[in-house]
């Protein structure tokens, strides 16, 4: 029952990925004063910085953030901001932590119009709970809550990640596993030949097309997120896309059934296909953790995987029963022919 084992392995790897990525990253161990806690975090590639945030849709689109970074020089300032109009410095709505004459840190708001901070003033997002402190490690922690309701909540911020995540979850994470199940089990039913093949190809081609769109939005998202790179997630995505593309080309190079090289093509096709599925599911969970999606979305995706796994196990049992029954019938037919009387020659 190799198929059931492979699909069970898929589910196990996905669950392990979800658990491991949730615990990964140095930002997860950050502790804050006043019992502050955040739903998600991300380690940034420069200044040993990290960003922590909680987005509350129910509170009118409130974004609570904590930005942790070391000043460029002793006594320097630390800033974090959002730019609702683009990805440059001009137009950024910034929270800037500066040391006061008393030695305490305070947070000022800046509506940046050029390449200089300018003067403090109101920003586009109503800000509250502003605070800053210097940690024992020399890094400054900037705290604040921004109300995004006036800009339609998080909708005006770049939400390409939503499209990216949805497309990839549907393609690499649902359609491709479904296509593999169709190919493995439907071909056992003689009445499904050759329909199973066209269903398999259609499912995989649609999945690949949607996956290409998801991969392209990921590339675009990376280009728009200057200075932020999730290396492992990106590399796995590139590998999945490359292997998926290889599978598409292999479809046109498939030898005929009677060709002596067909067995080797089958081995390649199955191994690469299962690799794409395993890596795709793993990367989907990594992406969910990076984006800090709500638990209900993770639960929904795990439920879909479980349904596919249960369907595969049931079909594995049914098809193996059919194969055994056919072999027994063929064996009886062969034995009857072997034990029969040979015709006499006159």
Cα distance between residue 24 and residue 11, in whole Å = 20
Cα distance between residue 346 and residue 344, in whole Å = 6
Structure token pair of residue 280: 């795709």
Residue indicated by tokens 């990805």: 87
Other beta carbons less than 10 A from residue 51's beta carbon: 19
Pick the closest to residue 206 from 253, 157, 171, 242 (CA basis).
171
164 is in an annotated binding site: yes
Give yes or no for a cis peptide into 194 (omega within 30° of 0): yes
Q: Which sign does the torsion angle of CA 274, 279, 284, 289 carry?
A: positive
Residue 98 parent element (H or E): strand 93-99
CB neighbour list of residue 321: distance below 8 Å, 6 or more residues apart: none
Cα distance between residue 238 and residue 246, in whole Å = 12
233 is in an annotated binding site: yes
Separation of CA 165 from chain center: 6
Strands of the sheet with 78-82, listed across from one edge: 78-82, 93-99, 105-111
Helices (H), 85-230: 160-170, 176-186, 195-224
Q: Are 214 and 257 in contact (CB under 8 A)?
A: no
Q: What is the DSSP string of 11-50?
A: HHHHHHHHHHHHH-SGGGG---GGG---SEEEE-SSTT-E
Question: Which residue numbers belong to the known binding site for heme b?
Answer: 164, 200, 233, 269
Residues belonging to the binding site are 164, 200, 233, 269
């Amino acid at each position: 029952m190799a198929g059931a084992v492979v699909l069970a392995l898929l589910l196990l790897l996905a669950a392990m990925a979800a658990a491991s990525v949730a615990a990964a990253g140095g930002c997860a161990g950050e502790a804050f004063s006043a019992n502050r806690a955040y739903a998600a975090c991300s380690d940034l590639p420069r200044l040993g910085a990290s960003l922590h945030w909680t987005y509350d849709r129910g509170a009118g689109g409130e974004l609570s953030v904590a930005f942790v970074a070391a000043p460029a020089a002793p006594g320097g300032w630390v800033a974090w901001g959002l730019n609702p109009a683009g990805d440059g410095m001009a137009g950024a709505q910034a929270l800037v932590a500066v040391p006061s004459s008393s030695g305490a840190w305070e947070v000022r708001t800046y509506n940046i119009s050029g390449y200089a901070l300018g003067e403090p003033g109101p920003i586009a997002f109503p800000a509250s709970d502003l605070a800053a402190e210097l940690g024992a490690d020399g890094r400054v922690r900037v705290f604040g809550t921004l109300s995004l309701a006036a800009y339609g909540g998080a909708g005006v911020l770049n939400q390409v990640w939503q499209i990216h995540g949805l497309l990839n979850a549907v393609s690499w994470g649902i359609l491709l596993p479904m296509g593999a199940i169709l190919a493995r089990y439907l071909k056992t039913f003689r009445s499904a030949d050759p329909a199973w093949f066209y269903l398999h190809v259609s499912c995989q081609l649609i999945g690949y097309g949607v996956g290409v769109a998801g991969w392209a939005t990921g590339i675009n998202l990376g280009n728009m997120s200057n200075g932020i790179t999730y290396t492992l997630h990106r590399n796995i995505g590139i590998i999945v896309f490359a292997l998926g593309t290889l599978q598409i080309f292999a479809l046109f190079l498939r030898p005929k059934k009677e060709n002596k090289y067909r067995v080797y093509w089958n081995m390649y096709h199955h191994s690469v296909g299962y690799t794409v599925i395993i890596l795709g599911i793993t990367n989907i969970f990594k992406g969910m953790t990076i984006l800090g999606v709500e638990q209900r979305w993770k639960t929904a995706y795990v439920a879909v995987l479980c349904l596919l796994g249960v369907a595969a196990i049931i079909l594995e049992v049914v098809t193996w029963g059919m194969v055994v029954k056919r072999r027994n019938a063929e064996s009886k037919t062969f034995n009857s022919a072997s034990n029969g009387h040979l015709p006499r020659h006159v």
